[in-house]
Amino acid sequence: MEWTREARYRGLSSITNEEFESMTDKVHQSPWRQHFHVQPVSGLLNDPNGFIYFKGQYHLFYQWYPLGPVHGLKFWYHVVSDDLIHFENKGPVVYPDTTYDSHGAYSGSSIQIEDQLYLFYTGNHRTKDWERVPYQMVATLNDAFQVKDKQPLIEGSPQGYTDHFRDPKVWQENGNYYFVIGAQTTAQTGRALIYQGDTSFKFHLLGEIQTGLSDFGYMWECPDLFKLGNKDVLIFCPQGLEADGMNYRNIYQSGYIIGDFDLKTLEMKHDGFVELDHGFDFYAPQTTISKEGERVLIGWMGLPDINYPTDVYNWAHCLTLPRELKVKENTLIQTVHPDVEKLRVRSNETTMDITDDNTVLDLIQLDRSEINISIVENEADVLSIVFSNQVEEAVKITYDKNTGIFELDRSQSGELPNNQDNQKRSVQLFDALKSLKIFIDTSSIEIFINEGTHVMTSRLFPVEPYQYCQLSSESGTVKMETKQYELKRG
């Protein structure tokens, strides 16, 4: 169908239950439905929102347009979990049903105050002339998972900023409430602003976070500010960066700066901006504190303005596996959360010498697997790992020891998304390759390099599931230990 403006802004009430069931039936026909990733029952999923551990469960919401694989009238869809891997669908909870969010309940966060969960988000309102008016909203979620008492906190944008003003991430500190929010100046530059509020939720602007990034993209989305160890971390998604060698290859970026933030002066002394993920499909991450007290991140495994092969089945996108964050030598280390180990059902391990002859790894169930590789000794110039199927579709991982460049090539992996800059992504490793932890689901791969120093996340759309893993080297031998797990459904 043609996705006109009118079509994109239809609500759920515009279709019958039978029509919605027909949509979900088409989704189930898709060959690319995931086994252990959060994915929409229909339509489009994007930013994770409101991520929190509350009353013994993880609550996670995401941006959802139910009627098709396009960005339209956004809801918040709700999933819950006792751990961070087995999520149960609870359905939409934040509906765009007031004047303030008439054209979408956009991204935001949540906070626990006593025994109550409060949701902060951006309401998107359009006038009859289609002018955008953003509202920063608050609502409560009751024990029946119903949203109540929606209230606008801030109408419009502050002076000096455009209507691109969204995505509040809220926290409590020293008896006050604060949120960091993405903004665009009237000079078309991205910024992160800080607001302070009291217990009655009367918020006022403190100002911009003072970084060394005065001209770094035209908009900053989905900011997230938190302390990790003795460092402050600001995660945000700058739009409008030009590609720079191996960096900034995707249409939009997600990354962080790390250093020391002064809440009184709003000054942040920091190192350079670092991308969180060097794959093809990662955006708009959000963090929370786990029940163990660790900082955990989940991201959107997708990007705006890209058409994906799943679109023809009336759905798009999923969320990443949860990642635990640590700071090591002013670098954010991302490792898979230990709860993911609950998916393991069978294992197979081996020690092997990889040469220029293809070595086939004996696999259990490649399209839902975890593969751990430890490099014991590497005398080769190049190590290659290829996952393939019977129709010769393949995704290739390559490591060049001499340059330190690690590359992911999905050019022959199957059907491909469009509007993306070539089909190879690379990252310069800090140290020699020592370990890989690879998660493969029906239509995705997540690669954790050197204990999470670098990560590459990508969607893959093979016509048939990958069945084979071939390893080879050039100009020398690689001695490695491997352990593979078959993973069950999440």
* C-alpha–C-alpha distance, residues 322 and 336, integer Å: 6
Three-class DSSP labels, 446-484 = EEEECCCCEEEEEECECCCCCCEEEEEEECCCEEEEEEE
* Rounded Cα–Cα distance for residues 87 and 322 (Å): 12
Out of 47, 224, 409, 441, which one is annotated catalytic? 47
Evaluate whether 316 touches 69 at the Cβ level (below 8 Å): yes
CA–CA gap between residue 26 and residue 17 (Å, rounded): 14
Residue 208 contacts residue 192 (beta carbons within 8 Å)? yes
CA distances for 291 relative to 57, 230, 339, angstroms: 9, 20, 11
User: For residues 384 and 388, what is the distance between their CA atoms, to the nearest angstrom?
Assistant: 13
- 283 forms bridges with which residues in the sheet? 300
Other residues' Cβ atoms within 10 Å of the Cβ of residue 1:
7
- Could you tell me which of 457, 439, 276, 455 has the C-alpha nearest to residue 373? 439
Separation CA 263–CA 241 (nearest Å): 27
Q: For the chain, give the number of residues.
A: 490
Buried b (16+ CB within 10 A) or exposed e, 354-391: beeeebebebebbbbbbbbbebeebebebbbbbbbbee
The burial of 20, by beta-carbon neighbours within 10 Å (0-12 exposed, 13-18 middle, 19 or more buried), is given as middle
Question: Which is nearest to 250 in space by CA: 274, 222, 279?
Answer: 279
292 in Cβ contact with 280 (< 8 Å): no
106, 74 Cβ separation under 8 angstroms: yes
For tokens 């019958």, the residue is: 16
Count of beta carbons in the 10 Å neighbourhood of residue 351: 10
Q: Which residue bears the tokens 């003795």? A: 230
- Is 277 a known active-site residue? no
The residues that are catalytic are 47
